[in-house]
Structure 1
Amino acid sequence: MNKTNSIIITAMAVILSSCHTESKLALSTTQPFTSQRRMLNPIAPPGLFIADPEVRQMPDGRVYVYGSRDEPGNAWCSNSYDILSSSDLVDWQVEQISFATKGVGKQTDYTDAVLYAPDCIHHDGKYYLYYCLEGNDPKGDEGVAVADSPYGPFYDGRRIEGIKGIDPSVFIDDDGQPYLYWGQAYAKGARLSKDMLSIEGEIHDSLLTYEDHFFNEGSSVRKRNGIYYFVYGSHSQHGHSNCATLDYATSNSPLGPFTYRGVIIDNWGSGRNLVNNHGCITEINGNWYIAYHRPTHGNANMRKACLEPITFNPDGTINQVEMTTQGIGGPIHPTYRMDASRACLMNGNVMVAVRRPPHDIPVEYLASIRDGDYAYWKYYNFTDADINTFTCKTWDKNRAARIELRLDHPDGELIGVCDLKTMQGQTAYSIHQAHIKPTTGIHALVMVFRALDEATPDQDLLNLEWFTFTKQ
């Protein structure tokens, strides 16, 4: 029996429904959701942590996000994959347990190891999921499973003989020849057999290197206008221990040589204890995007996938882009009720966390905020916005606090101040309001959090769930 839970999240309401349908392997649970009819980062729903995103527009026209599924705790990834899909990049549907190495949906008879980053591609009416396993699993680090649909279930997981490593990327050239890429420190690549199940011919051991390309891991290959783009997680900006950027190299051949070109996006500053980044570039309806992830919960895992638009120069190079809240949806109208967890930059002790209220629909919020912390939401369009009031929902920590509303920088123009009085003994949430001065133009919104009493540096001030601007 396949249990399917459908969750729709709209402007100010949550609707929960369920249905039951027959399924051969009981692998999939579907959860569609929306958020006031616009795309925002991160793209996954609250409480779902999908990292290492490989984004593909499949023959049915829908966009699918394949990635690792992080779980609460201090370990990377899990034993199963969930898949996000959308027809419009606004409403996303979650297909749960499309493939697993343990428990429900298990499709590997040779291992129960944790699943690291995957990739998937369509070929001759089938969908091929390439997966990798945690650490140096003795039964082989990479494998492949096959499905009749892009969301699975994927069957008969089998090892790919002759290769070791993580983070597979699959690519099919214009002539129909498939290729597989993988590796850490040194990117490897080889031709795939016509049946997509095995390596064929020579393995190229050093397509990209740590020394020449700042290569760490997370291979992803695409082709545009005759140029092969190799996107990967890199340590080029923040030292060996912080693989925060997605860099790229280009070639005129799918197996190189590849020339280093630079950074596409840097997720430094998106959370505490940042360790890595992993993603891809992808074409959707003629437009190109970069997919990447951000950490939450103050640790290096529990990561969430995001999307940003990218542009190319006449010579084929890619312009670097920044992390935003707006994602591919354009600047945000101030009257949108913003989930605070969508902050794209944070500094201090502040972090994204999740709680599960009694109705069991997860709520993400900014947690553990302390004196001097700040957070960014990029970008708001204040032009012609008839607003004069800021409203927010907090869970107070029995400390008097202040939220400074600033433009573009923690020291930028001050447009309002919202004071939060102490609420001794109160455990429920609070709604606060403050007057703001007229503002115009497109700006990053920056909140700077201040203690109004003698809070010590290690004392939390508040948790922030959402905020909005209105006319009152």
Structure 2
Amino acid sequence: MIKRCVLAVGLAASTLAQAGNPIVKDIFTADPAALVDNGRVYLYVGKDDAPAGGKDYVMNEWRVYSSCDMQKWTDHGSPLGYGAFKWAKGSAWASDIVKRGGKYYFYATVSHASIPGKAIGVAVSSSPTGPFVDARGSALITNDMTRETEIGWDDIDPAVFVDDDGQAYLYWGNTVLKYAKLKPNMTELDGPIHTVGLEAFTEAAYLHKHKGSYYLSYSRKFPEETVVMRGPTATGPWSFGGVIMEKNSKVNTIHQAIVDFNGKSYIFYHNAKLPGGGEYRRSVAVEELRYGPDGKILPVAQTAEGPAANPSPGCT
């Protein structure tokens, strides 16, 4: 997979004591994004701060963790909060990240301060652990740019993919999936916004490539299950590849990210398995992802153990 692949350790980093799922056990986390580079996998999550019994998402910052073996994780703190975007007023929702030209571009969902609804911003850093700063000084996507629905949260969950020819794509949306090409600077759209008709699409679109095929996974229905489409290009045409993860029992969302690391594939997701967890107090976990002989992604069960150790040579 070409998309997600820097060995850097942030200041005041600390190693989490326990392996297994959930990955982070001292705070509630959600909406995983992942980046792999130079023998280390970096995990980016939103921090759920809702109180027990809370009735809404309370999310003010993102956190980043890294691992050399998919079991021991290092806490690098917060690389940014929604306040990195001066035009935003809150909601550190789902994100994605990509490396290009020696820089790291972080695409984030926030609430816009002056344009009603959710928006997508782009932050940039010279390190995968931040700090990240606003790359534009304005939103890349705002709610008034798309008119397919009347809801204020249909421009969320950015996912960025760079194809073999160097063309970058941004996918996003709730209820309706949208995508657009990105310019090489990674901070501007390069052409019109397209919509994709997918059966019962809810949110959390994610594109990756494996052995010549493109896989578009997303959250379907509500409560959500993770399904996948398969196609010959980054824009389809798509054929249904099945359910790859069943819905959660205590939380309606699930939100996946998929990476290759040390010869194996992995899927990150969230559930509510920490004590006190629930709809607004989620927990990110990870499992190994496997393909059948025909390239079909096999169903993935959620486990407490998580994947086996897969150490990266020379990574500490």
Task: Give the TM-score normalised by the residue count of structure 2.
Answer: 0.83
Q: Secondary structure at the match of 2:307?
A: helix
Report deviation, 1:281: 1.8
* Cα distance change on mapping 1:161 and 1:304 into 2, 3 Å: closer
**Structure 1 residue 310 corresponds to structure 2 residue 310:** no
C-alpha displacement of 1:192: 0.4
User: Hey, what's the Cα distance between the residues in 2 that align with 1:28 and 1:131?
Assistant: 23
1:33 maps to 16
Contact 1:229/1:250, CA 8 A, preserved across alignment:
yes
Counterpart in the other structure of 2:95 = 118
1:62 aligns with 2:52: no
User: What's the CA shift for 1:97?
Assistant: 2.1
Aligned positions of 1:143-292 closer than 5 A: 143-156=121-134, 158-161=138-141, 163=145, 165-206=155-196, 208-209=197-198, 212=199, 214-235=200-221, 241-243=222-224, 245-269=225-249, 272=250, 274-292=251-269
Amino acid at match of 1:100: G
Q: Distance in 1 between matches of 2:262 and 2:112?
A: 37
Which consecutive residues of structure 2, in runs of 5 or more, have no partner in the other structure? 1-9, 147-154, 310-316
Tell me the SS of whatever aligns to 1:318: coil
Q: Is 1:88–2:69 an aligned residue pair?
A: yes
Query: Which structure: greater strand fraction?
Result: 1
Aligned to 1:72, which of 43, 46, 50?
50
Q: How does 1:292-331 map to 2 (within 5 A)?
A: 292-295=269-272, 296=274, 297=276, 299-329=278-308
Give the C-alpha shift of residue 156 in structure 1: 2.0
Tell whether the 8 Å contact from 1:161 to 1:198 is kept in structure 2 after alignment.
Answer: no
Contact conserved, 1:40 with 1:329, CA < 8 A, in 2? no
Q: What is the Cα deviation at residue 267 of structure 1?
A: 4.1
Distance 2:12 2:177 in 1: 35
How many pairs are equivalent? 282
- In the alignment, the residues of structure 1 paired with residue 297 and residue 105 of structure 2 have an alpha-carbon distance, to the nearest angstrom, of 29
Deviation at 1:136, TM superposition (A): 9.3
**2:194 & 2:121 partners in 1: Cα distance?**
18
Contact 1:161-1:199 at 8 Å conserved across structures: no
Q: Is the CA contact 1:113–1:137 (under 8 Å) kept in the aligned structure 2?
A: no
Distance 1:186 1:66, change over 3 A: same
Change (3 A) 1:324 1:141: same
Counterpart CA distance in 1 for 2:61 and 2:114 is: 16
Deviation digits for residues 223-248 of structure 1, max 9, x if unmatched? 1112111111122xxxxx411x1111
Separation (CA, whole Å) in 1 of partners of 2:31 and 2:106: 14
Higher RCO (C-alpha under 8 Å, 6+ residues apart)? 2
User: Residue type of the partner of 1:97?
Assistant: S
Q: Indicate how the Cα distance of structure 1 residues 268 and 136 shifts in structure 2: closer, same or farther if over 3 A, else same.
A: farther
- CA pair 138-116 structure 1, distance change in 2 beyond 3 A: same
Counterpart contact for 2:248–2:254, Cα < 8 Å: no
CA distance in 2, matches of 1:176, 1:144: 19
Measured after TM superposition, the shift of residue 197 of structure 1 is: 0.1
1:101-147, Cα deviation, whole Å (9 max, x unpaired):
2xxxx321212221110000100100000001148971761110000
Deviations 1:56-106 (A, max 9, x none): 212x321111122111322325121111111122221122221112xxxx3
Tell me which moved more, 67-76 or 225-234: 67-76
- Retained in 2: the 8 A contact 1:142–1:160? yes
Equivalent in the alignment of 1:16:
none
| Aligned equivalents of 1:268, 1:197: Cα separation in 2 | 35
> 1:34·1:90 contact (CA, 8 Å) conserved in 2?
no
**Aligned-residue CA RMSD (Å):** 2.1
Paired residues of 1:120 and 1:129 also in contact (CA < 8 A):
yes
C-alpha distance in structure 2 between counterparts of 1:310 and 1:180, whole Å:
23
SS of equivalent residue, structure 1 residue 201: coil
Percentage of matched positions with identical amino acids: 31
Structure 2: distance between partners of 1:31 and 1:286: 27
Q: Residue 83 of structure 1 contacts residue 94 of structure 1 at CA under 8 Å; is this kept in 2?
A: yes
User: Match of 1:282, SS?
Assistant: strand
Residue 14 (structure 1) aligns with:
none
Q: Is the 8 A contact 1:28 1:97 kept in 2?
A: no
Please report how far the alpha carbon of residue 259 of structure 1 lies from its aligned counterpart in structure 2 after TM superposition.
Answer: 1.7
**How far did residue 299 of structure 1 move?**
2.6
CA distance in 2, matches of 1:135, 1:110: 6
